[in-house]
Amino acid sequence: MMIPIVGTLVYFIYFHNYFSLIPGIFVYLKQLKGVQMFSPIQIPADAVMLFNVVKLKEGVSMDDVELAIGGMCNVVKNTYGNDKGGFIAGQVFKYAGFVSDQGTLGDKGPEEEHIVIVTYWQSFDQHEKSHADHLFKEKFNALVEFSRDTKELGYELQWQGSPE
């Protein structure tokens, strides 16, 4: 029953402005490999994927936005998950500074600090309905405070596979 304790701890820290402790909390959360936020995900072939590139403001790091992202992802997962709104799964990636020489055509110049939020939904309409909701907008606006630009593109699956 670790999740309720962690949720209570994050809630306590967030609402009591103990922001200096937050990086330590997220290191602890990342070490909990057994909790659902690090479990493998399964994506149905008829799912749609939204790919959101969030370019961070100058001087902002992943450590600065982790709480905002966590709050937003928690709202999406718990409010719009499955039959409640069509959310299937999601992932958040931090840019690692790597640009592939083999997979890049054109300019290979430096990229600015950014994160990518990948979400999978039953439909684009369900995604848009959830993101128009005031509860989501409140959480997303907390992330926007740290962002210079965001762009969310929708995709339909054409192929998926894994080694045999």
Is residue 81 domain-shared with residue 121, that is, in the same domain?
Answer: yes
Domain that holds residue 125: 40-96+113-157
DSSP 133: S
71 Cβ partners below 8 Å, 6+ apart? 14, 139, 142
Is residue 120 domain-shared with residue 89, that is, in the same domain?
Answer: yes
CB distance 117 to 54 below 8 Å? yes
Q: What is the pLDDT of residue 36?
A: 57
Is residue 68 domain-shared with residue 4, that is, in the same domain?
Answer: no
Is residue 44 domain-shared with residue 34, that is, in the same domain?
Answer: no
Please check whether residue 101 lies inside any domain of the structure.
no
**Helix/strand/coil for 95:** coil
Please check whether residue 120 lies inside any domain of the structure.
yes
Q: What is the pLDDT of residue 128?
A: 95
CB distance 50 to 127 below 8 Å? yes
Other Cβ atoms within 10 Å of 6 Cβ, number = 15
Is residue 34 domain-shared with residue 56, that is, in the same domain?
Answer: no
- The crossing angle, in degrees rounded to 10, of helices 62-80 and 134-144 is 170
CA dist 76 to 27, 31, 157, Å? 22, 23, 21
Is residue 85 domain-shared with residue 151, that is, in the same domain?
Answer: yes
Q: How does pLDDT run along the chain (164 residues), one tens digit per residue? A: 333 333 433 333 333 333 334 444 444 444 443 445 678 889 999 999 999 999 999 999 888 999 999 999 999 999 999 888 999 999 999 999 998 889 988 888 788 889 999 999 999 999 999 999 999 999 999 999 999 999 999 999 999 888 99
- The crossing angle, in degrees rounded to 10, of helices 62-80 and 2-15 is 120
Q: What is the pTM of this model?
A: 0.75
Nearest to 85 by CA among 55, 128, 54: 128
Domain count, the chain: 2
Is residue 79 domain-shared with residue 135, that is, in the same domain?
Answer: yes
Is residue 25 domain-shared with residue 90, that is, in the same domain?
Answer: no
